[in-house]
Structure 1
Amino acid sequence: MQRYIQLFSRLIFGLLLTSISFNSFAAEKIVIIVSGAEKQIYLPVKLAERLGYLKETGLNIEILSEPSGVNAVTEMLSGAAHGVVGFYDHTIDLQARGKQVQSVVQFSRSPGEAILVSTSAAASIKSPADFKGKHLGVTGLGSSTNFLTQFLASKHGVKSSDYVTLPVGSGSTFIAAMTQKKIDAGMTTEPTISRLTSSGGATILVDLRTPKVTEEALGGPYPAACLYMSTAWVNSHKAEVQKIANAFVKTLAYINTHSAEELTQVMPPEYSSANKQQYIDALAASKDMFTADGVMPDNGPETVLKVLQGFNKSVQGKKINLANTYTTEFVKAAK
């Protein structure tokens, strides 16, 4: 009888330990928000998930999607997320506002975006100098598409007060805003760009999809998509950050060694359901935007800072320490 009591006690104790371990594991969930998971500029995230590289880390990682980068930033700062896959320029903007965050894996070296002009407004908009009095679409107010639109306008002598900026999201909502003439022009990403241009609904005004055309338009390399996190969290969770970096560096290497068609086959079918060949062609044309190793491109941070200083009142006049806006520690140590 005593033996049965001992066995029963051990069983109960084991169940308690399992419960404690499970709860601890659940508490260690790492939430990463993507600023629009369906966008080709953020392809490395879904690809890493589909290839099983995130699962290989052994971490409990949850990927969430948020249409606008500025909303994703808010989620991270509120503590609802540990990291954001968005544009590097937010790290500079946030430092100017007293928040320390840093890019830990740099996905791309150009925005992968373009400013489109609707067919109905094409006659009156020949360059950003013609934005005065127009309605311009961006993913969200305070988003990177908003940053770049403001810079291109100011570069051509147009103040932000001279035009109306509308947050219209991306994908179908952006297309609807343009076809319904709510916006005259706007900045968006692939595959939305190809969907609109192929249908004759819009033409490209400013192309920032590859490093070459980006340097011509912005004066240098413009590191864009990346995984950025709170500096304090990175410093206190280096083992976890390293595992995440390993997964994404492995994914970037996969992108670098596989064709657009092969990459599309791995991605969720619904991402290319509108027109699979169009999706493949768009990816093939802009795949060069992705880094091969997650390392920040030379002179990239300087270009981004210069762009933000051109219009962003939060950054203008502030002393920005670019070395604190990114780290190559984890990507260079990645296996």
Structure 2
Amino acid sequence: MKNIAISRRAFNSVALLAAAGLGAPSVWSQGKLEKTKVSIAVGGKAAFYYLPLTISEQLGYFKAEGLDVEISDFAGGSRALQALVGGSADVVSGAYEHTINMQSKNQYIESFVLMGRAPQIAMGVSTKAMPGYRDVADLRGKKIGVSAPGSSTNMVANLVLSRAGLKPSDVSFVGVGTAAGALTALRSGQIDAMSNTDPVMTMLEQKGEVKIISDTRTLKGTQEVFGGPMPAACFYAHAEFVQKNPNTCQALANAIVHGLKWLQTAGPSDIIKTVPESYLLGDRALYLASFNKVREAISLDGILPEEGTRTALKALASFDPSVKADKIVLSKTYTNDFARRAKERFKA
């Protein structure tokens, strides 16, 4: 009887473990997470630029991977990067080009899953402040709103200015965030032009408040501005963190790719039901119009194209003298190992 009791107890334990494995397949199959509590910094979470992060959070995909994520929202990507450098964040949901910028400063950070395959940033001039606008040269001496100085919205503005022969010092950049504050800054005349993400830019455009002069919200527009594919939002961390926490990074990549897979078939009503009400900025119809405009810019599978890394380096080196193209080792700015495994698992 004793042996039967032991074997029954053993059987029950195995059955419970098997059930747990079914409930959390990623944790079960990829080994123990080195870190279950992960702090993530993001700059402007309400923007469509970071929609995959919000979807994965709201639908519980991080929890399904055994992760307890704490997301801190900052005014712009450069602030989120500062949180990583300062040690208050483990991972950043931010622009891929920051990995290149940081390597030029001898700091190695690595992207490990892609969320956006186009920057989704548009630049426009205020029709009220600059009714007679003719070309980019007219921006000399003007105030340009960006999410935060040093962020990717600033980078796109710098690129547009440089092609017209203007330097960043020829204008004044003003940090306005990526939500209601950005709308207020333009409407109240605090800025003359703005480089920002959606839904903000579509809302201003549809009401005739800005004239768009550069647009990377579509793959075609991105090709025209950058001359190639330009990777955008991704998860990045110190290379050392990625190396020491492979199972944790895999779980993070899994959650994002799961969200990307969901987004491939999600309808407008699904998006409205999933994102926080405050993200709609008081106008559901315009929010959905914005989503339709940027939908193709969202990554399908989390994999960063090698050609895109070259596009990003060329763009940065064209206006930032501190980025020396011949000194940057692009293979150290990203890895697709985690995204490939996640893609295979979710058939993304």
Fold conserved between structures, TM > 0.5: yes
- Partner Cα separation in structure 2 for residue 316 and residue 100 of structure 1: 15
Alignment of 1:281-292 (within 5 A): 281-292=289-300
Q: Is the contact made by 2:41 and 2:91 (CA closer than 8 Å) also made in structure 1?
A: yes
Partner residue, 1:330: 338
Q: Where does structure 2 lack aligned partners over 5 or more consecutive residues?
A: 1-32
Shift of 1:62: 1.0
- Partner Cα separation in structure 1 for residue 218 and residue 269 of structure 2: 18
1:146 equivalenced with 2:149 (yes/no): no
- Partner Cα separation in structure 2 for residue 260 and residue 285 of structure 1: 12
1:165 equivalenced with 2:165 (yes/no): no
Match of residue 66, structure 2, among 58, 63, 69? 58
Q: Is the contact made by 1:83 and 1:227 (CA closer than 8 Å) also made in structure 2?
A: yes
Q: Is the contact made by 2:204 and 2:210 (CA closer than 8 Å) also made in structure 1?
A: yes
- Inter-CA distance 251–184: structure 2 relative to 1 (3 Å threshold): same
Which deviates more from structure 2 when the two are superposed, residues 223-232 or residues 263-272? 263-272
Shift of 1:317: 5.8
Match of residue 156, structure 1, among 164, 188, 210? 164
Q: Is the contact made by 1:259 and 1:284 (CA closer than 8 Å) also made in structure 2?
A: no
Alignment of 1:195-234 (within 5 A): 195-234=203-242
- Partner Cα separation in structure 1 for residue 323 and residue 36 of structure 2: 35
Shift of 1:123: 3.2
Which deviates more from structure 2 when the two are superposed, residues 302-311 or residues 129-138? 129-138
CA deviations over 1:128-179 (Å, ceiling 9, x no partner): 2322121111111111111111111011111222211222222222122211
Matched position secondary structure for 1:310: helix
- Partner Cα separation in structure 1 for residue 64 and residue 73 of structure 2: 21
CA RMSD of aligned residues (A): 1.8
CA deviations over 1:254-285 (Å, ceiling 9, x no partner): 11122233222221222225111111111012
CA deviations over 1:43-64 (Å, ceiling 9, x no partner): 0111101111011011221111
Which deviates more from structure 2 when the two are superposed, residues 128-137 or residues 100-109? 128-137
1:259 equivalenced with 2:267 (yes/no): yes
1:181 equivalenced with 2:181 (yes/no): no
- Partner Cα separation in structure 1 for residue 298 and residue 37 of structure 2: 28
Alignment of 1:227-242 (within 5 A): 227-242=235-250
Q: Is the contact made by 2:94 and 2:234 (CA closer than 8 Å) also made in structure 1?
A: yes
| TM-score (normalizing by structure 2) | 0.85
CA deviations over 1:90-110 (Å, ceiling 9, x no partner): 000000011101111111111
1:279 equivalenced with 2:287 (yes/no): yes
Shift of 1:221: 0.9
* Aligned-residue identity in percent: 35
- Partner Cα separation in structure 2 for residue 162 and residue 146 of structure 1: 14
Matched position secondary structure for 2:240: helix
Partner residue, 2:120: 112
| TM-score (normalizing by structure 1) | 0.89
Partner residue, 2:16: none
Moved over 3 A (4+): 121-124
- Inter-CA distance 319–260: structure 2 relative to 1 (3 Å threshold): farther
Partner residue, 2:309: 301
The amino acid that maps onto 1:116 is: G
Q: Where does structure 1 lack aligned partners over 5 or more consecutive residues?
A: 1-24
1:83 equivalenced with 2:91 (yes/no): yes
